[in-house]
Structure 1
């Protein structure tokens, strides 16, 4: 959530930077400033009335002690009027504050200066590319056909017991999936991230804290009876560890990693580009989260990018990195790098990770602050990344490692799988 003080001090900058997201927000910004002005004026009036009421209460006590009951009762009539007025002002203040908060919830984060202009993913900027695309034998298959041929993923069975987008992994397919999870977690913990196992359901406050709620795109699964949400990523529960916390500067940085299933409705996703593992409603992902000092968060972001590069190098998958344009940024992000792996059989790039710096946007929603050595309190910066999302990594492995004898397992995963080939 954007800070009102920042909006007030940098009004034109906020409007111009949000225009990079292809948004015209001048009307909303004016409304924010008007509501804030009304809130501050109401608070000032309320504070004055409460101070007057407290002063008169003390005076009434003194009068009663002095035996001047009649004068005391006259003043009590006045305090009764002040109490009624303060009640009305308190209700008004709460109403205006709620309106202001709801309006702020509709404003996305301000893009970083390095974010390129653009309307969609076609305008994202390729900044790095590495790895050789393998030459496959004639008749190479896409992963959904390989999954059927080797009986390692059953999409029809998943559709039978739940619906489309909920695959069942079988035999060596399940073992390979588990191997990837263990490998990713080991790489993350070796890099200094503390591993957590977290709930797969969160409350509304947690969803609001990371910007998943309000859910403008209808992606969250909601359990109405319990007023809980299935998580879209481990980012939500892990980042909310620190909601309403005041940390010490020496506590930073805080590094966490977690494996969870992730649930996304992916409303309106149809067509050949979402076949097989390309787009799922339930999928596995290993996440990394960092809570950083504002002065070091962009250095940390580059470190996260390098960390994921290292994993993809060990898997020997051809990949590229994109800097997302303003029109493709997520709601909460200030800067996002997407990793894409090349699917040789599909002849297209598949997104496998997003690494983002949210700066103070999530921290302001969560009231996540730290105190420096001088006692000054500041909002922390939050970052997160997929390290990695499994479905498209698995798709890339199946397609890029297929041979006439079967699907070769990447060497780095063999200690986890216990086998070298799926045949």
Structure 2
């Protein structure tokens, strides 16, 4: 294994996750949502500030009516300018509720970000374990090739003294070629998984990165741990970003319903208008102003009753979100239950493979001794070697598979901590 990680720069799982999270553009785009909502809150601060408007017009009359003649004199031109001011005095909490709505959207965005983040962490960690599995394949196959090469030398020695035929040498060479082909495939898979991991983590090194392999330590720690369905399901309900996000969506829709109800509330406002009208520029006469306080109210009938339907729609939406939340929880619970069963099966598979390895090692030793003594065949030796190699591969796959199942439980439970972090 050492030749696989010979370069001076090695990345552990924490460093890989850090790099992936730091450079992921989806996370960066999600962060911009917070700035957008904060800008909306700042915009709401202007609701109680006066709104000023100004207008100017020029017109020409063919003849003047008496009231216009009193304003404009004998001029047939009309210059009119005004400045208006409008200010909300009280809106029955509508602005406050809109601020609360925007703040609730920011909180919801936090859970969306958590979901994106945890998905990235899970993807990087899974690919990291795939790299470890590819490395183990290389290690097992290289060991098998060394064993076959050693057996090939013994077979040549026996052939030279006339104890076996050249067919035994050929059979050994064929088996050696088969294993070398598997080794080349394993090297290709290792390079593919490393490239995939490099891209996931946005690593800028030109060569393929070297990855720190601590999977044996991880297996030793986690293979003996037990997991409880009830405890994990409770953790999902309490902590998973998909569930907490649904809670905030429900809260958001309740606030939206309150905003719909506010559409039927009156608005108290003040206003002022100052105007100048004269036949010529500059204005020297006919200044006028008008100030006052008003109240605006839409009667809740006919077209003004639309807010009631909006509130009814929100009630249905809240029920829909509660149903979706319940289904999400049940889906997670079912996935956890299935994964726990798979963990139990993988542990049994590991035990069985360890037993087979012990038996196949003994069988290989016996077959080798008998063959060298002229009492066995080369096929017995090669078959035993093949079984030992395949079982070693199956054992390593099962160990990595166990870690992947545990990693999946970590993801399903909504845990925000890095997986296996205490071992990095």
Specify the TM-score bucket, using the shorter chain as the normaliser: under 0.3
Q: Which has the higher contact order (CA 8 A, sep 6+)?
A: 2
Structure of greater Rg: 2
Please state which structure has a larger fraction of its residues in helix: 2
TM-score (ref. length: structure 2):
0.22
TM-score (ref. length: structure 1):
0.22
Please state which structure has a larger fraction of its residues in strand: 1
